[in-house]
């Protein structure tokens, strides 16, 4: 088990966003969490990245280490868990290249950085063409590529992806997911959160279904796709 | 015309002080969305640290009979004082502001004012209520250029200030630390996802701002060599106004508005009175329209007028609400 989350509870002010959810990811897997808007999918990822405080009995273990001992920046720089946030959240005032360089801020492995940069540019040749352009001037598809590329530069072990398909035209979406598959084959474990359940279940090997802050169903993707409840609620009947 | 250029020189000198201090206000605001109201007092601390560093260097130089030229002592004094004062700034951030990062902005403002008072009274408690004189390192030489008299001190002050601003610009635009500062100013909530600690960037920003204030403190002491614990209050508030005028968070804006502030202040009191002797137009028969006692009133009125038309400042952007985590 690479990452195990046990009894994860998060509250915003006094409102519980996550009621004790538990799940795990094995090395090299692609796992998805599907669920409706507001089910707590983003909160789950933000808790792993330590962007939101968790409640006391929560346990998150990563490669045998207590992840909750690490602050947000160390989760990325020391544990290698990167996060593509919802809505991309690029630094629009920085160029494409600067966005990628900033992600390597805490890294000192110069040679590997070079190789990672080559990987990003081979996955997304468009970014190579637009290196000197400000991130804010990119199209939606290019921005999502940069968001994924930036995460790749910040840490290679695990990538947390929050709604990468959002706002993308179908063709761009397919291209992006092909790139993600390649990233996974290069050795990055992926935890994907998606509202587009059909896409997510095609892409992932296993999935969890999150409903109002609790996991209601889990299993291999093929099984979830055939589940009548999932079909009805997330796949349009 | 000579008179005009004479005032330009004075305005440039005062503008240098304001610009260097305003940069600290603006950078901290840009990165952390708070105004460090203790910044004027950090200017004062910087001047005092400069005083001790320079006095120390002079003592060492005389004891070891080393013949260090005075300009070198000044340069060393500026560098050491900037370095030491940056730690004072980082300490202020660590102790005063970091625990309040998620608190309402008013709490941070009140804390800033309190830190200012602590620095002033702390100085008073440690050094007593006497003024200290900054050692005069450079003998004043006055050059006469076409009737305009310029002292070597004024030239030094303006050139050193411009040099420091250029260095700051290069740092922010060219280094990875500067890049992280720009990123934090754009959207600090995702900065940790880049493996960058917000605390590091906050400390860096406070350190840089404080170092520039220290430089201003020493340069100020070169021109006006009497230091007292309250010397940072008025100049600090004026620099704060300059930072607002330049546009919160804008480095270029803060620098230019600092100089603009100097120009407005110097020039409002030398506007010729069109009717020097006619009573209804002039309360006091005088060669100038405004007496120098009204300097701040008129200067601030002009700035208020500019802000009425450009509420975000000269280089500020309309402030979009940034998400906080």
Report ipTM (2 d.p.).
Answer: 0.93
Question: Which of B184, B190, B320 to mutate to test binding with chain A, by most A CBs within 10 Å of its CB?
Answer: B190
Average the pLDDT over B216-223 and give the result: 96
Looking at chain A, which residue has its C-alpha nearest residue B187? A91
What's the total number of domains in chain B? 1
From B185, B189, B197, residue closest to A73, measured CB to CB: B197
Averaged pLDDT of chain A: 94
pLDDT above 60 (res B189): yes
Nearest Cα residue in chain B from A12:
B325
What is the Cα A63 distance to its own chain's centre? 18
Residues of A in contact with B179 (CB under 8 A): 94, 98, 101-102
What confidence tier does B280 reach under pLDDT thresholds 50, 70, 90?
Answer: low
| Geometric angle at alpha carbon A39, from A34 and A43, rounded to 5° | 95
- Cβ contact A206:A3 at 8 Å: no
- Per-residue pLDDT tens over the stretch B58-89: 998 888 877 788 889 999 999 999 999 999 99
Question: What does the pLDDT read at residue B274?
Answer: 76
Which one is predicted more confidently, A148 or B3? A148
Interface membership of B182 toward A (CB under 8 Å): yes
* CATH number, residue A28: 3.40.50.300
Measured between CB atoms, which of A50, A91, A154 is closest to B195?
A154
Residue A58 banded pLDDT, cuts 50, 70, 90: very high
- Please report the pLDDT score of residue B36 as a whole number: 95
- CATH classification of the domain holding B70: 1.10.3470
A86 touching B (Cβ < 8 Å)? no
**Which pLDDT score, from 0 to 100, does residue A177 have?**
95
Token code pair at residue B65: 């009979």
Phi, psi of A135 (to 5 degrees): -60, -30
Return phi, psi of residue B284, to 5°: -125, 120
Query: Does a structural domain hold residue B319?
Result: no
Q: Is the pLDDT of residue A186 over 80?
A: yes
Task: Determine the Cα–Cα distance for residues B298 and B304; give it in Å rounded to an integer.
Answer: 10
Dig out the tokens for B146 from the structure: 């076409």
More confident residue, B284 or B16: B16
**Full residue range of the structural domain in which residue A104 is found:** 3-234
Half-sphere exposure of A216 (CA within 13 A, CB side): 15
Q: What is the mean pLDDT of residues A10-33?
A: 94
- Tell me if B36 is assigned to some domain: yes
CA distance B98 to B44: 23
Residues 6 or more apart whose Cβ sits within 8 Å of residue B165: B19, B20, B23, B255
Inspect the interface and report whether the beta carbons of A102 and B190 lie closer than 8 Å: no
Taking the CA atoms of A214, A216, A219 and A220 in sequence, report the sign of the dihedral they define.
negative
What are phi and psi for residue A92, nearest 5 degrees? -65, -25
- Cβ of B190 within 8 Å of Cβ of A89? The answer is yes
What token pair was written down for B29? 């605001």
In a domain, B325, yes or no: no
B191 to chain A: closest CA residue: A73
CA atoms within 13 A on the CB side of A169: 6
Residue B260 has what pLDDT? 95
Q: Does residue A52 surpass a pLDDT of 90?
A: yes
Residue A26 in tokens: 């094995």
Residues of A in contact with B317 (CB under 8 A): none
The whole-chain average pLDDT of chain B stands at 90
Q: Does the beta carbon of A105 lie under 8 angstroms from any beta carbon of chain B?
A: yes
Return the pLDDT at B315. 86
- Contact of B22 with B254, CB cutoff 8 Å: yes
Cα separation of B164 and B180, whole Å? 20
What pTM value is reported for the model?
0.91
DSSP for A91-111, written as a single string: -TTSBHHHHHHHTTTT---HH
- The verdict on residue B324 lying in a domain is no
Residue B196: list chain A partners with CB under 8 A.
Answer: 73, 102, 105-106
- Answer with the residue of higher pLDDT: B273 or A151: A151
Q: Where does residue A119 rank: exposed (0-12), middle (13-18), buried (19+ CB within 10 A)?
A: middle
Per-residue pLDDT at B322 exceeds 90: no
Q: What helix, strand, coil percent values describe chain B, rounded to 5?
A: 70, 5, 25
Which of B193, B196, B198, B203 to probe the A interface (max A CBs under 10 A)?
B193
Q: Which of B 296-325 lie inside 8 A of A, CB atoms?
A: 325
Question: From A93, which residue of chain B is nearest by alpha-carbon distance?
Answer: B186
For residue B66, the Cα-to-chain-centroid distance in whole angstroms is 33
Give dist(CA B42, CA B21) in Å, integer: 9
Q: In what order do the strands lie in the sheet with A214-220?
A: A81-84, A158-162, A189-194, A30-35, A206-211, A214-220
What was the pLDDT predicted at A75?
97
Which of A49, A101, A104 is opposite residue B193, by nearest beta carbon?
Answer: A49
Domain that holds residue B60: 2-309
Q: Is the pLDDT of residue B131 over 50?
A: yes
Interface contact flag, A89 B192, Cβ < 8 Å: no
Kindly compute the dihedral angle of the four CA atoms of residues B46, B52, B54, B55, in this order, to the nearest 10 degrees: 160
Question: Quick check: is B318 in a domain?
Answer: no
Q: Encode pLDDT of A104-120 as tens digits.
A: 999 999 999 999 999 99
Work out how many CB contacts closer than 8 A connect A with B.
72
Domains identified in chain A, total number = 1
């Amino acid at each position: 088990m690479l990452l195990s989350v046990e009894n994860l509870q998060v509250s915003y002010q006094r409102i519980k966003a996550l009621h004790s959810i538990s799940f795990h990811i094995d090395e090299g897997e692609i796992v998805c969490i599907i669920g409706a808007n507001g089910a707590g999918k983003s909160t789950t990822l933000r808790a792993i990245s330590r962007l939101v405080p968790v409640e006391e009995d929560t346990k998150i273990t990563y490669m045998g280490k207590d992840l909750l001992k690490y602050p947000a920046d160390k989760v990325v720089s020391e544990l290698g868990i990167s996060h593509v946030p919802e809505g991309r959240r690029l630094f629009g005032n920085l160029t494409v290249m600067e966005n990628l360089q900033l992600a390597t801020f805490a890294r000192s492995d110069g040679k590997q950085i070079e190789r990672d940069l080559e990987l990003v540019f081979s996955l997304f040749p468009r970014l190579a063409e637009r290196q000197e352009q400000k991130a804010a001037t990119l199209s939606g598809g290019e921005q999502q590529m940069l968001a994924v590329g930036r995460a790749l530069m910040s840490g290679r072990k695990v990538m947390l992806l929050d709604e990468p398909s959002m706002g993308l035209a179908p063709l761009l979406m397919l291209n992006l997911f092909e790139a993600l598959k390649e990233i996974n084959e290069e050795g990055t474990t992926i935890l994907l959160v998606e509202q587009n359940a059909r896409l997510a279940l095609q892409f992932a090997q296993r999935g969890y279904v999150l409903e109002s802050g609790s996991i209601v169903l889990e299993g291999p993707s093929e099984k979830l796709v055939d589940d009548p409840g999932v079909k009805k609620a997330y796949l349009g009947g | 015309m000579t008179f005009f250029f004479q005032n330009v020189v004075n305005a440039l000198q005062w503008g240098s002080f304001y610009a260097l201090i305003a940069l600290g206000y603006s950078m901290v605001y840009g990165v952390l969305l708070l105004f460090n109201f203790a910044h004027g007092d950090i200017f004062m601390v910087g001047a005092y640290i400069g005083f001790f560093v320079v006095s120390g260097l002079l003592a060492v130089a005389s004891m070891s009979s080393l013949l260090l030229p005075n300009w070198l002592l000044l340069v060393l004094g500026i560098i050491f004082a900037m370095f030491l004062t940056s730690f004072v700034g980082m300490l202020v951030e660590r102790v005063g502001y970091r625990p309040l990062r998620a608190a309402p902005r008013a709490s941070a403002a009140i804390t800033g004012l309190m830190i200012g008072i602590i620095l002033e009274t702390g100085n008073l408690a440690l050094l007593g209520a006497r003024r200290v004189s900054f050692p005069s390192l450079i003998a004043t030489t006055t050059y006469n250029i076409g009737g305009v008299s310029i002292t070597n001190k004024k030239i030094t002050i303006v050139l050193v200030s411009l040099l420091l601003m250029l260095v700051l610009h290069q740092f922010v635009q060219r280094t990875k630390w500067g890049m992280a500062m720009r990123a934090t100013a754009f959207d600090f909530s995702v900065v940790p996802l880049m493996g960058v600690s917000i605390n590091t960037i906050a400390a860096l920003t406070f350190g840089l701002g404080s170092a520039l204030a220290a430089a201003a403190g020493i340069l100020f002491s070169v021109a006006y060599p009497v230091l007292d614990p309250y010397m940072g209050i008025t100049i600090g508030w004026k620099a704060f106004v300059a930072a607002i005028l330049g546009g919160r968070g804008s480095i270029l804006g803060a620098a230019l508005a600092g100089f603009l502030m100097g120009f407005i202040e110097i020039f409002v009191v030398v506007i010729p009175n069109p009717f020097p002797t006619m009573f209804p137009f002039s309360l006091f028969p005088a060669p100038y329209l405004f007496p120098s006692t009204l300097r701040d009133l008129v200067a601030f009125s002009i700035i208020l007028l500019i802000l009425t038309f450009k509420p975000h400042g000269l280089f500020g952007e309309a402030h979009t609400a940034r998400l906080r985590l």
